Structure 1
Amino acid sequence: MASTIYRLRQFVIVCALFVSASFLWNGLKIGLEEDFATATEGRLQAEGSENSKPLKLIVTHSDNEGDGKTDNDSISNNSLEDSKCNIPHLDINGSEVIGFFEKHQPLKCQLSDSGIDPNWVFIDDEGKIRFIEKRKTAKCFIRYFRRFDDNRNEYDKPVNIFDGDVMTNSDFGVVACAQGTQKWKSLLWTVAENKEAHLKALKQKEMRENSKLIPNPEPRLNVYFLGFDSLSQMSFRRKLPKTVKFLEEVLGSVVLNGRF
């Protein structure tokens, strides 16, 4: 009987402790939630007041050619609107970069002792199709083709070609030749004469001549852009000096020098 009363007393004490701990935990949790809500509301109000203010821009460094002032307080907030990009004048053979460049020997695509037969057919300096001496008696066909879209080409029917012919139907063609049991196949490309383009150019020339008779004609700009991908302005001048000289001195081109 005594042991039963003792155990019952322990059970009551444990239950009382559990209930007290639950009340304490709930009270502490409610207090933390109220503090968090108050702090969040205050932070949102502060952010809202800051966002309502106009954005202030302070420029510390730029390419703008100013009056030499260095004090940040003296720089106008809208100084970016008045700034311009200044292309630096660098030494193309500067010691910090010249070590990365070297002159390579020309590629020898076909060595005389390689055992590879040279091209049977080629385009000479006059734009004519020529057969090498060893293949003068070869029978050759050309199949002109042109670009149809990004993934397909449009091909014509094969036609015979002979030494001295010129490519007419397209700038590109697949050539297949046979001489005895030997065969050869390759590509040929050139700038084929386009009679339609010539007629169009003549008509435009006549229009320009006639426009001179019209008072105050509309100006007609004719600008041709030539770009070299994956080549910086400095590397362009280092690696293609003859091209630079031709563009600037012969054609009188305007080189953008990194401005485009």
Structure 2
Amino acid sequence: SSFYNIFINRTFSSTPGNRVVDYPKHGQLLIDETDLLDFKQSLPTLSTHIQLLKEKYFNKTNLYCQYPKLNIDSKDIWNHLRPVKQKQPACRKIQNWVYTDNGTFRLSQQAIQNHGPINCSYRAILRGKNDFSVLDGPLLSSVVDKTPLVSDFFHVHCRGRDGSVYSNIHSSIKFDADLHMRHILNPMVKSHLGYNVLMFGFDSVSRMTFMRLLPKTYSFLVFQLGAVVMKGRYSTWASSQIYAT
């Protein structure tokens, strides 16, 4: 299995063009330089919030398990891999009419210019009794720009004055007054870093296979979000086959 940790603040905004992560102001994200060397792809420009850790930073004499030197271009491995070579899907390059910003519903000014005044309805998507069920909230009509969100996920349907229709599912983080009050009543001690941790695990996919077959995803996780690659972890599957990370 492959595991990646991302340390971020809870607040972020999702604009029509991209997603902006609000990094902590008191420090930078640290990533292992060998994650770049192993990748061997065209390296993007690193975020200004990312600082590279040189190999000498790690005291390998205290490691119980020494990391093997693996070659991502090994012919012995590639002979057994069958990467998907289908053409990329032809996606419509239409900007979203709706985006979210700091827990609020936003309408794109570009969409308003293109389609005239826009009328939207909004239906919250709520968690059901367990992780495998969801519930639809009541329909909210005539939702306007900067309306506070009532759920983290929602289905929106909009119609412009020119008759064009937009329908999509969006995600964000709604404002929760109870959480803010809990933070006020129980403030974080000054010695804490104030990070939230997002952990991504990919079952039955080794770290090197992930880099070989999903290079764009790996590049985004490590070089843009500053993900920490969990190396040296082994997990045993039901068939007792071991996947190294």
The bucket for the TM-score relative to the shorter chain is: 0.3 to 0.5
The structure, 1 or 2, with the larger RCO (C-alpha pairs under 8 Å, 6+ apart) is: 2
* Structure ranking higher in strand proportion: 2
Q: TM-score, normalised by structure 2?
A: 0.48
Q: Which has the larger radius of gyration?
A: 1
Q: TM-score, normalised by structure 1?
A: 0.46
